[in-house]
Amino acid sequence: MNTKISDLLTLDDFKKLSDESIQEFHKKGHTLVQNVLSGDEIEAYRPVIVGAADRYNTEKRKLEDRDTYGKAFLQIMNLWQVDADVKKFVFAKRMAKIAADLMGVKNVRLYHDQALFKEAGGGPTPWHQDQYYWPIDTNNTVTMWMPLIDIDVDMGMLTFASNSYTTGAVFNHEISDESESAFDDYVQKKGFPISRAETMKAGDATWHRGFTIHNAPGNNSDKMREVMTVIYIADGARIAPYKNEWQKSDHHKWLMGKPIGGLIDSELNPKLL
Ligand SMILES: O=C(O)CCC(=O)C(=O)O
């Protein structure tokens, strides 16, 4: 196929979600959507995102010198602000519309993006809830998690405790050994089914709610698990008072310190549709 790069770089067409995906997301708090990006589109965007992640990665310590969180992944945030091509991916209407359709809203705002690259031999990502970190007054949030290469379960597949989002924040633990052990007990006690794909193709994506409990095993392969994520918030959400120091930090980093109680509408949080 002879597709021009300029055509590939526009991800603004819409993709219709199946009713099953929407229902699964509502019931379980997560769903997997295949082929969000085509093979050609991944070919165009993978080098853009991997290149930017390499340039802006600040983690230089050896794996063995890091704590559990540090071993879990290289985390390079808001690449859209520093790379115009990554911005085309993060601002893509195709993914924003999937986020809106899953959440059942007309429009979404960007919270932030992050490249999450689990190195060869990288450790597990402990159980956690993302929204523990976010001073946001709605639970209508969704994270898109997209591998940029084909991955299997041995490379750190994202793993969900299905139906676990409904009770909101469960513990006061950041991502750590403590969160792993507390959520592990909790998930077993509640009997939440554990769900993870065996394989994902580059360009497939999982979508999970901010309060869905999730983790990932370590990367037992000899390849980097290259994953790009984007967090979307239902338009109309407001900034909530901090519940912990992380939320205070997020308020300044991702919401530009705008007034608590006010709408989330800063320049870092554009409407994407
Ligand atoms: O990529 C991982 O290992 C964890 C990802 C995650 O927790 C998230 O995207 O919310």
Alpha carbon 79 to chain centroid, angstroms: 14
73 exposed, middle or buried (CB, 10 Å; 0-12, 13-18, 19+)? buried
User: Could you tell me if residue 21 is inside a domain?
Assistant: no
Domain CATH for 175: 2.60.120.620
Write down the pLDDT at residue 2.
45
Does residue 142 lie within any of the structural domains? Answer: yes
- pLDDT at residue number 1: 45
* 270 belongs to a structural domain: no
Number of domains in the chain: 1
The residue range of the domain holding 155 is 31-254
Task: Identify the pLDDT of residue 6.
Answer: 56
- Whole-number pLDDT of residue 167: 87
Q: Is residue 266 part of a domain?
A: no
Cα–Cα distance for residue pair 72/161, rounded to 1 Å:
19
Instruction: Find out whether the beta carbon of 247 lies less than 6 Å from any atom of ligand 1.
Output: no
Is residue 213 within 6 Å of ligand 1 at its C-beta? no
Q: Could you give the count of Cα atoms lying within 13 Å of 219 in the half-sphere of its Cβ? A: 21
Q: Which tokens hold the place of 176?
A: 């750590």
Q: How many CB atoms lie within 10 A of CB 258?
A: 18
Indicate if ligand 1 lies below 6 Å from the C-beta of 156: yes
Cα-Cα end-to-end distance for the chain: 29
Q: Is the CB of 32 under 6 A from ligand 1?
A: no
Give the largest CA-CA distance in the chain: 54
pLDDT score for 5: 53
Of 130, 141, 145, the one to substitute when testing ligand 1's pocket (max ligand atoms within 8 A of C-beta) is 145
Q: Residue 161 has which token pair?
A: 């405790």
- The helix/strand/coil state of 151 is strand
Low-confidence spans in the chain with pLDDT less than 70:
1-8
Asked if the structure places residue 24 within a domain, the reply is no
